Amino acid sequence: MKSLRRRKFGFGPLTVLAGLLLISSILRFFGGPAAAIAKEVGDFRAAAPGLSAPSECTPPPDIAAVLAALADRETRLAEQEDYYAKRAAALAEAEKEIETQLTALVDAEEKLEATLATAVGAAEGDVSRLTAVYENMKPKEAARLFETMSPAFAAGFLGRMRPDAAAKVVEGLTPEVAYSISVILAGRNAKAPTR
């Protein structure tokens, strides 16, 4: 192993760099050349009151045309941006209104479905009660009523009745009416899909 040698304290490159940075910060702190130049310019303006701040220079015609076109384009872009901002606000308002209307439509649909379900349930209850009445009637009296009904209407009730009660009612019907009702009952599910 090499033995470590002690270095003697001296002015190396890092020490010189640190010194320069220290001197720079001291000069900046106390004003330095920039403050002197600013003071001289201020004194010069005070000594010559006729001089004013430099005014805007007039550009050459070709550059002036480009600047005018750019200013015109900037104006048009600002107008378009304003138009699109207004349109986006109008679209957002319309979207909000559509959402409100869709919510109202869904609520109305749900109420209508509930009303229809109630109506269907009530109608089903009425038909079931009427079927029970026909089942509990004397078969000959029920047959006279079924003779006056249209065959499709009568078939609907006979199809819902208990088989023994329906058989007794059909016994009391004329052969033509019994046949019509039987054909309707037999063909009721003929068009139903088999698979």
Q: Note the pLDDT of residue 72.
A: 93
Which residue in 122, 178, 173 sits closest to 143, CA to CA? 173
Distance CA 143, CA 177 (A): 10
Q: Tokens 């003929």 appear where?
A: 190
Largest Cα–Cα distance in the chain?
Answer: 138
Q: Note the pLDDT of residue 6.
A: 54
Q: Note the pLDDT of residue 1.
A: 47
Q: Note the pLDDT of residue 20.
A: 86
175 alpha-carbon distance from chain centroid: 66
Q: Note the pLDDT of residue 187.
A: 83
Q: Tokens 């009721």 appear where?
A: 188
DSSP string, 82-134: HHHHHHHHHHHHHHHHHHHHHHHHHHHHHHHHHHHHHHHHHHHHHHHHHHHHH
What are the average pLDDT values for consecutive 10-residue runs of the chain, which has 195 residues? Answer: 55 84 77 66 63 67 89 93 94 94 93 88 85 89 90 88 90 90 82 71
Distance CA 115, CA 66 (A): 72
**Would the pTM count as exceeding 0.75?**
no
Burial of 142 (0-12, 13-18, 19+ CB in 10 A): buried
Note whether 185 and 157 are within 8 A (CB). no
